Chain A
């Protein structure tokens, strides 16, 4: 039986660096859901998220030659580009998303409901499940603080101002949330 001959992500990036359009097409098919999900989670608007997604893959097309495998996985690289660009777009628009409708509302659903469709057999699907499970165990106020910091680019001072809470309270929430995530992800890793 013949082995699946789909190129790995690094090979795709190398082909993209050689201006092979079919390679960027394949990469888009593999990661469109992840990139768009992150973009939408940050900017909160589908049309803007579409533009961010396009920008991300165009940047990959332009900068594929600068990707170094020893610095991290392709997926990690894509995630970083997406988040950074989406937050930049938020700042350019001078947007201040409401504190409500925080990106992780769906994470609190019991039994991990929501779409968990595997995306072309990506290796991080199981990891995604682990992280979602860990996040779902955070108290809501901690989850909200972390989401505002990481997905909306708020500083702790800004979060305190928006939520009308003391700065010390916000600092504590973020610190406790990250410590709990660390503990949960460590425990899950060892299971």
Chain B
């Protein structure tokens, strides 16, 4: 590649974001395949990143902080409105995974009462846990499920209901998703009602994952998703 084939003279403007659309696209295409220009671009990007430090100081008004905290409070997880009586959190054991499973088992019996749980809904009881409703797919249109995660992300439970029971050669598998990488969190089958509650086992905090998906796999599970997806959900707040 000759010197004229490089886009060195355009890189500084590209780093500033000041190229016209066509030129920016040409530079981006070239940079993706040229390590020389890519290295130069990185230098200019570091400079542009520093430029913002040089702006004149300006202090926000003192009342801006209370306005922020008010917005944060409005966004914070709230208890789901009760169309029926929910789990009496305060009567249940604190902290233990077994206690968590008990909570889940009781909560499932009230699942149909959570009429406002559509895509995602969060609640925060005195145990500080998050419950995220999962979405079903065409492969299991009647299925429902949710994931409960402790606030520190160290414990998690999956509960599913009305998933089609499977034969002995197949099981469902829960995947924890992070940047398109899937980590197995549980392998399980369901009872005759399609129900199962199972502990999620992960190599790191559940807070590090962005989503979950459940797929149909051979018995014993797979190293990566191979079968049809039946449930999924995002682990982030909306």
Interface positions of B from 118 to 162, Cβ below 8 Å from A:
124, 151-153
Report the interface size for chain A: residues with CB under 8 A from the other chain. 69
By a CB distance below 8 angstroms, the chain B residues around A131 are: 50-51, 53-54
By a CB distance below 8 angstroms, the chain B residues around A18 are: 151-153, 207
* B151, chain A: closest CB distance, angstroms: 5
* B56→A107 contact, CB < 8 A: yes
* A49→B58 contact, CB < 8 A: yes
By a CB distance below 8 angstroms, the chain A residues around B19 are: 155-156
* A79→B58 contact, CB < 8 A: no
Give which listed residue, B54, B59, B124, B236, contacts A135 with CB less than 8 A. Answer: B54
* A57→B68 contact, CB < 8 A: yes
Give A43-57 as 1s and 0s: 1 = Cβ < 8 Å from B's Cβ atoms.
000100110011001
* A181→B71 contact, CB < 8 A: no
By a CB distance below 8 angstroms, the chain A residues around B59 are: 32-33, 36
Interface residues on B, range: 35 or more
By a CB distance below 8 angstroms, the chain B residues around A25 are: 65, 69
Give B149-188 as 1s and 0s: 1 = Cβ < 8 Å from A's Cβ atoms.
0011100000000000000000000000000000000000
By a CB distance below 8 angstroms, the chain B residues around A153 are: 17
Question: Within 8 Å of chain A (Cβ to Cβ): is B72?
Answer: yes
By a CB distance below 8 angstroms, the chain B residues around A124 are: 53
Question: Within 8 Å of chain A (Cβ to Cβ): is B237?
Answer: yes
* A155→B54 contact, CB < 8 A: no
The answer for the CA separation of A76 and B235 in the assembled complex, in Å, is: 25
* A33, chain B: closest CB distance, angstroms: 6
Question: Within 8 Å of chain B (Cβ to Cβ): is A132?
Answer: yes
* B64→A182 contact, CB < 8 A: no
Interface positions of B from 6 to 30, Cβ below 8 Å from A:
9, 12-13, 15-20
- Could you list which residues of chain B lie within 8 angstroms of chain A, going by C-beta atoms? 9, 12-13, 15-20, 43-44, 47-61, 64-65, 67-69, 71-73, 75-77, 124, 151-153, 207, 210, 235-237
